[in-house]
Amino acid sequence: MPEKRTVLVTGGCGFIGTNLVRLLVGSGGYHVVNLDALTYAANPLSLVDLADHPRYEFVKGNITDRRLVPALFEKYQPAGVFHLAAETHVDRSIVSVDDFVQTNVIGTYSLLEAAHAYWSGLQGERRNKFLFLHVSTDEVFGSLGKEGYFSEETPYAPNSPYSASKAASDHFVRAYHQTYGLPTIITNCSNNYGPYQFPEKMIPLMILNALSGKPLPVYGDGANVRDWIYVKDYCKAIQRVFENGRAGEAYVVGAGNERRNIDLVRQICDFLDEIAPPAEIHPLRERGLKSYAELIQFVEDRPGHDHRYAIDAAKITRQLGWQAEVGFEAGLRLTIEWYLSNLEWVKQASSGSYGEWIEKNYAWRALKEKK
């Protein structure tokens, strides 16, 4: 276990952030300062049990705040930064780009400025060991055809406003290392799934729609492929990179679980049929539903929909000895069971601005109506 160190985590109330904060405060032994603006994507219930933990502090604030962020570096003297705060949903970025530029580009730049100023004033070991870990995505590499994998050598080719904003943030992170020597590392990971994921993303959306008897909307022909990783495996990779990664480098992360969307949705339905049969769920029983798969509907495709993502994680395995531990089927069952056992969390996530947003902006369909 590392010596107890204070670290700044941004976006710690989001999906990956919540899982990461739990890992770092728990077995990681870190003192975590979590800076989060609590946007629609954050759920106040996610970390409520850590509120009084001696190694956890929450600060509500925006990474673009040029007064608050430097003050936090000054106050807490962190040994490093885990930067996760971002706007993350591709569909939202298609409807409205502004927040993506504000948070992902300007926010990352503001954080880099504050980190650089703080790091420049450090001496000796503290300066040498400081690290700015930027959590990015494989979507910056664009889309694959039937063959091939993303690796650290893949050229950037973002296709959505979301991935373009993440690519821009990656370039700033790289530039602060190349130009000023700020010790930075970038991780580019594939699709995460697991506990605490906001229900606008595919896996929780399908689970929760199914349980409410709503349609399961599969975009296009359902042949798009994503490469899935259980979120706790990714958090362990992030910790490993923070502790042992080489400054100035990038690591792509994935677990080798490629699935076509339609196959994944059918698998979710099969597991749900077994774990929570529709015949045992009051309104679904009345509708005579035999399987959740009857709710699958093919809908209009996402504009610019990337066809396939797949990761070659050889570098992180070879250099840092990391590899995923949770198999896909086991992880999916754990995820379904987590949502079934955390309905209060789900209720909170689905209330307020999320529900209103869905009503007003059902993604590109609303965009099309405006045209």
Separation of alpha carbons 186 and 4, rounded Å? 23
Instruction: Report the partner that residue 224 touches, choosing among ligand DAU, ligand NAD, none (CB closer than 5 to 8 A by kind).
Output: ligand DAU
Closest distance of CB 1 from ligand NAD, Å: 25
In the range 172-201, which residues lie near ligand NAD by CB under 6 A? 189, 191-192, 198
Separation of alpha carbons 17 and 83, rounded Å? 9
CA-CA distances (angstroms) from residue 89 to 27, 331, 371? 30, 22, 22
Select 90 or 346, whichever has its Cβ closest to ligand DAU. Answer: 90
Measured from the Cβ of residue 230, the count of other Cβ atoms closer than 10 Å reads 25
Instruction: Report the partner that residue 55 touches, choosing among ligand NAD, ligand DAU, none (CB closer than 5 to 8 A by kind).
Output: none
CB-based burial label for 277 (10 Å; 0-12, 13-18, 19+): middle
Q: Does residue 89 touch ligand DAU according to CB under 6 A?
A: yes
Return the closest-CA partner of residue 20 out of 240, 181, 182, 175: 240
CB 332 within 8 A of CB 193: yes
Number of residues that bind ligand NAD (CB under 6 A): 30
Instruction: Report the partner that residue 14 touches, choosing among ligand DAU, ligand NAD, none (CB closer than 5 to 8 A by kind).
Output: ligand NAD
Return the closest-CA partner of residue 140 out of 109, 180, 167: 167
Select 88 or 257, whichever has its Cβ closest to ligand DAU. Answer: 88
Separation of alpha carbons 51 and 57, rounded Å? 7
Per-residue contact flags (x/-) with ligand NAD for residues 39 to 58, judged by CB under 6 A: x-xx----------------
Closest distance of CB 338 from ligand DAU, Å: 17
Catalytic residue (one of 139, 200, 233, 306): 139
Beta bridge partners of 260: 225
In the range 235-274, which residues lie near ligand NAD by CB under 6 A? none
Catalytic residue (one of 87, 138, 227, 306): 138
Which positions are annotated as active-site residues?
Answer: 138-139, 162
Which residues would be at the binding site for ligand NAD (CB under 6 A)? 10-11, 13-17, 36-39, 41-42, 62-64, 84-88, 103, 107, 135, 137, 166, 189, 191-192, 198
